Amino acid sequence: MEEHDTNSRSLFKAITWRVIASLTTFTLAFIVTGELALSAGIGIADVIAKFILYFLHERAWDKITWGKQISEV
């Protein structure tokens, strides 16, 4: 049986990863700038851009057959 992620699973993975990664970006921006508002702006831009890119990346890789093994049921 061939396994692949559903759209909802890819979406949930994207959300949970973005929370972790964006908190990291916000924290690093705050350490570098010392400015809460600027760090929040950077964090928000990071969430929007990378969430969309990650989801598209996941869906694209699900369509690529390279490296997948197809098994007979």
User: What's the pLDDT at 14?
Assistant: 81
Q: How far apart are CA 21 and CA 53, in angstroms?
A: 13
Q: What is the pLDDT of residues 12-68, one digit of tens each?
A: 988 898 889 889 999 999 999 999 999 999 999 988 898 899 889 989 999 998 888
Q: What are 63's two structure tokens?
A: 């369509």
User: What's the pLDDT at 70?
Assistant: 77
Decide: 35 and 41 in contact? Cβ < 8 Å: no
The pLDDT of residue 69 is above 90: no
- Residues sharing a CB contact under 8 Å with residue 5, sequence separation 6 or more, in sequence order: 13, 58, 62
The pLDDT of residue 5 is above 90: no
Q: What are 52's two structure tokens?
A: 């969309």
